[in-house]
Structure 1
Amino acid sequence: MAIAVDNPPAKPRRPAVWRKLTSLVSDLLPKGLYARTLIIIMAPIFLVECIVTFVFMEQHWEQVTRRLSEATAHEVAALIDIYQNYPQDDDHRQLTELASKRLGLSVEILPAGKLPPTRPRPFFDLLDRALTTELKKSISQPFWIDTVGNSHHVEMRVSLGTGIMRVLVRRNQAYASNWHIVLVWMVGTSLVLYTTAIVILRNQIRPILKLAEAAEAFGKGRQGPPDFKPRGAREVRQAATAFIEMRDRIERHVDQRTTMLAGVSHDLRTVLTRFKLQLAMLDETAATKGLERDADEMRHMLEDYLAFAKGDGGEVAKPANVVEMLE
């Protein structure tokens, strides 16, 4: 009678690319606990900073710049309306004083002519793009702007037919120029957080490193750190206390074994001494000489065994050729 046995479904294997990627990441990551803990703490902070910076640059900074550019464009449009709809003196002093005192703009009416050629946009063209867009919405006359030439001012020229209105506006009046303050605060607070994390981690990981050092030294039969004692977090203290108790139990076991072997050594040596004394009382023959050699050999074997059992074998480490030993 045949019995059908359902084989359990095989576990899906990870793709080879995923295995290679995880292996590469594992090779690149540091192997120490301290470095890995630092990465675990600092990586989220760095990621949050990148996200906040991106959101600030793309949303807040752009929005503030657009609002400032919009206000500047409205002011320029108002000056154009005043120039075209209200009578002006010959040197346009009233218009320039109004713009300077009320709006913080430097206005100059130039003779009619052609506007300068358009300059290439800078790499960071947020101000150029925002101001151009808002001027197109507010005025219908041809205009030209320069956001690169003067680092502290933005120059705008508007062709009015009878002349060209040249307007100079402070850069911080049309552009959110204090963005670096936010970045400085972010970098400064990050450095403070990183420094605090490093100090705290060093204090928390030092007991673990001491425990590892003590365990390694005890496993190799060497003297451990003299200042080793339970420190740090509760779990680390529990592990250190358990290690100390285990070490004490092993040392007591070794002491008891040494004491037992010392007693066995005394008893065996007593029997061996009586045996040698009886041999000495016999007549010297070839048989007794052989027995004496056997007794001496037994004594040496017993002493070597007891010394090895006590850990006092005294073997000296010497360089050896493994190839010759295998041959």
Structure 2
Amino acid sequence: MIKERFETIAKGNIASRPIPSVEDSILLRLLVQGLVVVGIIAVDVAAETQMSFWAVPLSLAGATWSWYRRRDRNVPVKFLLAIGMLLAMGTFFGNLFTQLNDTRFVLAELLIQLQVLHSFDLPRRKDLGYSMVIGLILLGVAGTLSQTLAFAPLLLIFLAIALPVLILDYQSRLGISRTRKRQKLPLFSNSSPLSGRNLSRFLLVIVGLGLGIFALMPRFPGYQLQTFPVSSPIELGDQNFDSDNRGIVNPGYVREGEEGSGTGIGGNRTTGPGELDDTFYYGFGNQINQNLRGELKPKVVLRVRSQSPGFWRVQAFDRYTGQGWEISR
């Protein structure tokens, strides 16, 4: 009897527990999804991926389903979403250990996966706020990956969508949207902050302030690019660097007090005639011997991530020795 009574009371408490207030603004939901879509596309443009082909449709489908089921508890769906998020987290850690040289894209991939799952459970305004933050983080990651002005239009589009989102979110917090709906007041009247004229003014002021701050911001050497955006999976622990860590070790040449490991005839000589060793790249070194003869085979030396083709200079030799070139400084 006691057990049955306890179960009855527990079930009654669960059933009588009120469902949290939901967000009924369709416009706010659409604009939040717009922020997410822009963030996903920005990552695709910056990282040259195609995640938006599956992430955007699934996110929109999840948001639509969440709108129709916003007043239901959806306990089984939430359980499945929790399992999916755990799997996404496990995949994230697996990819993290394989791409330690650049973890930004791995983070963006995790956020996109979480957003797709999260889009199926957006009943409240707070849940929409999480999607807004994810869209903002995705835009920030895309900004660090982007190397051309292709990111600028997406930034302006994101800003243009974010302004009405912030206004609608603020009105929803204060209950203004419900009051306006009961009084049947127009949403886009001239006195409303959502009118096209007011939004245009806000956008111009914000863009102007941003450009002004960017122009006045000092450029210290610490803010400049210190390393090239290249992948370097080479283990450097066993490399033989010079004492000042500035010399470049090339096994195709002779180092002071040591013989080179080149296999070509004369391939490890910095002066005099000889034949090239096609297993080494002779451009990496403090000296280059132009008396060596032979043919180099194509070999991948490094990979550079860039959104447009360009010429990447590795080294510049400035002093001619009579038999080749060397770096004098």
Same fold flag (TM > 0.5): no
TM-score w.r.t. structure 2 length? 0.19
Higher helix share: 1
TM-score w.r.t. structure 1 length? 0.19
The structure with more radius of gyration: 1
